[in-house]
Amino acid sequence: MDLSFAQTHIETEIHKRDENLREEPPAKKPRTENKNSAEITKVSKEDVPSGSVQQRCSPRKRLDIRPLNESLQQKSAILPKKCKQKFIYGNYSKYYGYRNMDKVFHDVRLDVFNAYCDLFTEKSVLDIGCNTGILTIEIARRFKVKSIIGLDIDRHLIDQAFKALNRRKKLLPFDNESKRMEIFPFNINFVHGNYVLKDDVLLEIEKPKFEIILCLSLTKWIHLNFGDKGIKQTFRRMFLQLKPQGVLILEAQCFNNYAKRKRITDTIYHNYRAIEFFPQDFHTYLLSAEVGFKSCELMGVPDHSKAGFQRPIYIFYK
Ligand SMILES: C[S@@+](CC[C@H](N)C(=O)[O-])C[C@H]1O[C@@H](n2cnc3c(N)ncnc32)[C@H](O)[C@@H]1O
C-alpha cells in the first residue's frame, strides 16, 4: 500500500472527525407551500461533491425540485454515517439542560460538595472537562474558592463558558471591588485544550499548581478516545498537578455506561475493544505507587432522579 496515501487518508479522516465533533447547525427549513408541494432548495457550487454530474443537470435537478418526502428521504439516505458522529468527547452543548431538569440551575452534585464546603475555601481549583462552565461558575460562587480554571477540549463550549462568565460580571455594579480583589467572578478562567498529553514524556515537566482537581463525568470520554494509556496518563498528570495535600474529586462512569457510545468512531471502537484497565480498577491504580495517592473516601452519591447520574463521588488525598 502506498504509505503517503495512507498518511493523507488518515489525516483527512482525523480532520473529518474533528469537523464532526460539533453539532451541526439546524438545517435551514425548506421552503414549502403545503404538504404536497415541492421543496425548493438551492444547491450551491460548494455543495456539489467532486466528480458529480451536477453541473450538466437540468435547472430542475439543480434546484432540487422534488416532492418533499422524496427529497428528505434521499437526503437522509446519502448522509454519510459519520455525520451522526456527534459529541465524540461527551461535549454535549445542552449537557446541563439535560442533566439538570430544573429551570433554576441546581446540580445535585453540589449537595454532595456542600458537606465538604470548607475544603474548597480559598483553594486553587482545576475543573477538567468543564463543558459550558455552568457548574464551574456555581462552585466558585458557592464555595469561595481562591481561583478556578475550567478546561475543555471543545472550543465552542469554552466560548459559551466565557459568555456565561461575562453575563455574571455584567450583573455587578460598575465600581464593584471584586475585580481589584480578584474574587468571584473575577477569579474564574476558562481554557481550551486537551488534558491528555501527546506523549507521556511530557509528564516529566509537570508542576504542582492546584489544590483541588475536579474530574466529573469525564473518565469515560478520555478512556474511549485515548484508551487505557490515555486514562492512566490522565490520572498520573492529575497527581503531578496537585500540590502536597491536594485532592482529586472523581466522579467516574462505570464500564456498563461505555457500551452505548462504543461505535461513535473507529478509534473509540478500537479502544473500547482493547480495554484491559476497567473503571473498577481505577481506585487501586490511583492508590498504587505508579500514581501515588495516599488515601481515598466516598464523598457521597448524588440524589439524582435518573439512576445513571447517581454516580458515587470519591475524594483522593495526595
Ligand atoms: C459529559 S461532560 C461532563 C461535564 C462536567 N465535567 C460535568 O460533570 O458537569 C464531559 C466534558 O469533558 C470534555 N472533555 C472530554 N475529553 C476531554 C479532554 N481530553 N480534555 C478536556 N476536556 C475533555 C467534553 O468536551 C465535555 O464537555
For 225-251, the pLDDT digits (tens) are: 999 999 999 999 999 999 999 999 999
**pLDDT at residue 100 in the model:** 62
Q: How far is the CA of 271 from the centre of ligand 1 (A)?
A: 18
Q: Is the peptide bond before 185 cis (omega within 30 degrees of 0)?
A: yes
**Residue 287 · residue 295 · CB < 8 Å:** yes
Percentage of the chain exceeding pLDDT 90: 63
**Average pLDDT over every residue of 272-297:** 98
Cα gap 234→195, rounded to integer Å? 7
Any idea which residue has 456542600 for its cell?
114
Question: Is there a contact between 300 and 234 (Cβ–Cβ < 8 Å)?
Answer: no
> E-assigned strands of 224-273?
242-251
What's residue 175's pLDDT? Answer: 79
Question: CA 215 to CA 207: how far, in whole Å?
Answer: 18
Q: What letter would DSSP give residue 314?
A: E
Indicate whether residue 135 lines ligand 1 (CB < 6 A).
yes
- The distance of Cα 256 from the centroid of its chain, to the nearest Å, equals 19
d(CA 41, CA 64): 6
All 3 cell numbers of residue 207?
508542576
Residue 129 Cβ contacting ligand 1 at under 6 Å:
yes
Q: Does ligand 1 have an atom closer than 6 angstroms to the CB of 157?
A: yes
The whole-number pLDDT of residue 98 equals: 62
Ligand 1 in reach of 196 Cβ (< 6 A): yes
pLDDT tens readout for residues 115-130:
999 999 999 999 999 9
Q: Is the pLDDT of residue 219 over 50?
A: yes
CA distances to 101, 145, 187, 191, 302 from 238, rounded to whole Å, are 31, 19, 21, 16, 23
pLDDT at 53: 30
Q: For the chain, give the mean pLDDT.
A: 79
When pLDDT is cut at 50, 70 and 90, the band that residue 86 belongs to is confident
Q: Give the pTM.
A: 0.76
Q: Is the CB of 91 under 6 A from ligand 1?
A: yes
91-99 average pLDDT score: 81
